[in-house]
Structure 1
Amino acid sequence: MQVKNDAVRKPSAAVAAMQDDWQLVAALMGGTKAMRHAGQGYLPKWPAEDKDSYAARLATATLFPAYQRTVEVLSAKPFSKPITVDKAVPAELQALFENIDLQGRNLDVFAADVAAEAMAYGMAGILVDVPVAEGVRTRADEKQRGIRPYFVQIHPGNILGWKAQIDGGEWKLIQLRLLEQCLEEDGEFGEKLVEQVKVYTPGTWQAWRKRQSADGEEWFVHQEGATTYPGIPFVPVYGKRTGFMTSTPPMLELAHANIEHWQSKSDQQSILHVARVPLLFGRQLGQTAIVVGAGSLVSSDAADSDLRYVEHSGAAIEAGRKSLLDLEDRMRQIGAELLVIKPGNVTEAQTLADNEPGMCALQRITQHLENAIDQALAVAAEWIGITHAGNISLFSDFGAATLAEAHAELLFNMEAGGSLTLETLLNELKRRGILSPDVDVPKEIAKAAALPKPTKSELIT
């Protein structure tokens, strides 16, 4: 069966180059279920391992969610305080903020979700769109019908390709292809997902779908229209920018270390299973009937007969445990490095004043997001006929002077978010020399629990 015009659905070379990283991140962000579903992609079979043994090993493997937790903790930092809206932002634009995506998310929640996606995948997107309505051709028509722009969060995996050119000294999109899943009615009670490709050009859009024809399958223009916005209303958000519309996950090495942990942990689980089941070894027992269980006895008249359990020494188990702990520590360090201010400035105030030298990686990502939201607001403002959109600001006072400080901050945040127990937190601080080696962790926890808790009013004051 031939497919005609299928080029509209194929990812470009630039997108294809980023897809391997996106696939890796998607599996880690999906947790144990997604990792198991990936199968041999991230948990290879051992040499000579049969199908059933591998299936059992895969079914019992569990993911240590280091990548997912680090993304959640770091991407939440710019939203430790609400978004600051400049006074110059027009009231008409601010009126959109409480339901910025027409799905109930306000601007803070929407921006936080975009930040997490950019942090995880290295890229995300904001599409500024308006509802499709018959007979609407001008801004006046949109205003009369109550049609207003809204934001759409674009997952990087839905970007198929683009064309761009330099205009006015900067790169601008002249074509963009996005993959969409449309939910449509299927009979009286059913629903179905229909795949389509949305193709944007300045001032126009087309929706392509696949259908059956006499010659097989073909892609065709299902719907098309014009917009009152002259350009392509899409703004990229970068985690670690490598070029226009291209990027890489800022914590890619953490992702690979998490895969290494997934594989090593599977090995550890397997050796634990073997070690916990001792083997019964018998020598020179002749025709003696062997019954194993409580209340049973095996006897033999042979002088050199022997019957005993053979158990694992445990040396390999301890080596594996230490290896996993080392990996977990390395993964935390990779995450903490994004908070460390680069050499050049002494204080946070100096860093922000200079604007460029001395920033930590997370502050740079925050700047990318801040600029992207400003651009998206400018698009929305132009769409509804406002000449000036104003600006927003994100909280960015979270740089750490040293890796040890960043490490401690990350650990505190993980404990506060429920990703670490208090005991693990204190042990990690003790191991890093932040707490004295003489501190008895169980006793400290017991003493803290016995202290009187402050009232709500005391906490407020």
Structure 2
Amino acid sequence: MNDAVRKQSAEAAKLNEDCALIAALLGGTKTMRAAGKKYLPQWPGEDDKSYELRLAVATLFPAYARTIDVLSAKPFSKPVTLGEDVPERLKPWLQNVDLSGRDLHSFLSEITQDAMGYGFAGILVDFPKAGNLVTKADEQAAGVRPYFVQVHVQNVLGWLPKNATSLNGLTQLRLLESVSEPNGDFDTKEIEQVRVLGRGTWQTWRQREAGSKKEWALFEEGVTSLQTIPFVPVYGKRLGYMQATPPLLELAHSNIEHWQSKSDQQNILHIARVPILFAKMLEGSDIAVGAGTAVKSDSPDGDLKFVEHGGKAIEAGRLSILDLEDRMRQAGAELLVIKPGNVTESQTLADNEQGACALQKIAQNIQDAANQALQFMAEWVGEKEGGHIKLHTDFGAESLAATSAEQLLKAQLAGAISLETLFGEFKRRNIISMDIDWDGELARIESQGAGAGGGGGYRIP
């Protein structure tokens, strides 16, 4: 067990092959520079000093990070809605769902960023060690309750069985984690440990000195009241149970291409901006060039001139970079492309989601994962049902807002739809604030009177 406890499974290792690339892109210019030759090769014939200078001035165009930020924020442009079936006991806990100050909305938003960026994330529904608490009443009196833990893909070391499915679940899960412990009176230290979860059991393993080397040894262990492992996988692009890939992986590779191409462009611009002085058959070895000097040549073939770059390669490089940036923008936008004719959430759902855009499907995965995590939270405290939440997934209406708003307005003026329907459609498209309700708005319209804009063609039902 000593060697196996920290070792990643083959499945996890495959997913982590792309994690270093994603982490470098999300880390920005500083992280990309630190990666050095891994993502910015040193060309044949380029000396070390020249390469170091080229790397030091390279800057990242953050296409991948910006796209992840924008797209992962869309499901959270409106508050997470709790269903009526969420137990009252759980609702206050969701205001600080991870015991570190994040509510359910913020927690799921960051989970979505991980799933979108890395392709996989996890929610562990944990419960504090009971200590001297014996009964459920003792736990309630002490305020001990289950909470969510955000698990990064790089901290998933392995699982059993290898062919697990969502139906039979896991029998073992190994997670890498860091815990903070006191280090004297005024400091703390971070200790790496591996948590091994089983059905109804848990262990933590830490490294200890064993002669001249270190080995992994059992640190703590215990049992739980759950006979399942309360871990929920969250997928960006699902390949199988506990297996996924980043949905925008090709965009990440294009961003690396942009990093390399932009460095080449910077380098050629630096060379082109410094003209070369060319001398032919001039007297003496030292040549002074300036307004107060003269250069003499006794040969009729003597010459002195500055040689400059023609600029064709520079322009070609610039156009290539612009074309690459357009393709990267298109790659991100494609996650919002919906099936032609499907302009509302209800329509895409009615088509069994075949016409839903990729981002809608990802948001649905996040919603399903949150519901499963709520169920685990409920089971920890003896509740039968954890209830359901609802994420905003009506991206189709928002993307068509600019083009459809005028048509809706014309339809209302023609009497084809009611003012209340128009109000609802504008609200769904984020043209009208979600905080404004129809009854209050209708009262304000009627109080204005026809002379103040209450008429003018608008039909109040």
Shift of 1:114: 0.4
> Are 1:234 and 2:249 matched, yes or no?
no
Structure 2 counterpart of 1:342: 339
Contact 1:209/1:220, CA 8 A, preserved across alignment: yes
Percent sequence identity over matched residues? 58
Cα separation, partners in 2 of 1:50 and 1:125, compared to 1, 3 Å: same
Structure 1 counterpart of 2:99: 102
TM-score (norm 2): 0.83
Cα separation, partners in 2 of 1:129 and 1:312, compared to 1, 3 Å: same
Q: Residue 378 of structure 2 aligns to a residue in which SS?
A: helix
Cα separation, partners in 2 of 1:124 and 1:293, compared to 1, 3 Å: farther
d(CA) in 2 for partners of 1:83, 1:153: 18
Cα separation, partners in 2 of 1:294 and 1:187, compared to 1, 3 Å: farther
> Are 1:259 and 2:256 matched, yes or no?
yes
d(CA) in 2 for partners of 1:125, 1:171: 18
Q: Residue 399 of structure 1 aligns to a residue in which SS?
A: helix
TM-score (norm 1): 0.83
Contact 1:123/1:249, CA 8 A, preserved across alignment: yes
d(CA) in 2 for partners of 1:294, 1:394: 72
Equivalent position amino acid for 1:179 in 2:
L
Structure 2 counterpart of 1:432: none
Cα separation, partners in 2 of 1:26 and 1:248, compared to 1, 3 Å: same
1:5-44, aligned counterparts within 5 Å? 5-44=2-41
Structure 2 counterpart of 1:361: 358
d(CA) in 1 for partners of 2:205, 2:135: 24
d(CA) in 2 for partners of 1:136, 1:172: 29
What residue ranges of structure 1 are gaps of 5+ in the alignment? 410-459
1:292-371, aligned counterparts within 5 Å? 292-293=289-290, 295-342=292-339, 345=342, 348-371=345-368
Structure 2 counterpart of 1:442: none
Contact 1:165/1:171, CA 8 A, preserved across alignment: no
Contact 1:289/1:298, CA 8 A, preserved across alignment: no
RMSD, aligned CA: 2.4
Q: Residue 338 of structure 1 aligns to a residue in which SS?
A: helix
> Are 1:379 and 2:407 matched, yes or no?
no
Question: Which stretch of structure 1 is more off in the superposition, 157-166 or 281-290?
Answer: 157-166
Bigger Rg over Cα? 2
Structure 2 counterpart of 1:161: 158
Structure 1 counterpart of 2:125: 128
Structure 1 counterpart of 2:280: 283
Cα separation, partners in 2 of 1:378 and 1:347, compared to 1, 3 Å: closer
Structure 1 counterpart of 2:205: 208
> Are 1:395 and 2:392 matched, yes or no?
yes
d(CA) in 2 for partners of 1:137, 1:308: 92
Q: Residue 336 of structure 2 aligns to a residue in which SS?
A: coil
What residue ranges of structure 2 are gaps of 5+ in the alignment? 404-440, 445-461
Q: Residue 101 of structure 2 aligns to a residue in which SS?
A: coil
Equivalent position amino acid for 2:86 in 1:
V
Shift of 1:148: 0.6
> Are 1:177 and 2:174 matched, yes or no?
yes
Contact 1:205/1:225, CA 8 A, preserved across alignment: yes
Cα separation, partners in 2 of 1:295 and 1:111, compared to 1, 3 Å: farther
Equivalent position amino acid for 2:10 in 1:
A
Equivalent position amino acid for 2:311 in 1:
G
Structure 2 counterpart of 1:447: none
Question: Which stretch of structure 1 is more off in the superposition, 173-182 or 63-72?
Answer: 173-182
Partner deviation per Cα, 1:138-181 (whole Å, 9 max, x = no partner)? 53442232201111111111100001388998130110001111
Shift of 1:301: 3.4
Equivalent position amino acid for 1:384 in 2:
V
Contact 2:173/2:196, CA 8 A, preserved across alignment: yes
Contact 2:339/2:356, CA 8 A, preserved across alignment: yes
Shift of 1:226: 1.8
d(CA) in 2 for partners of 1:264, 1:168: 43
Shift of 1:225: 1.8
- Larger RCO (alpha carbons 8 Å, 6+ apart): 1
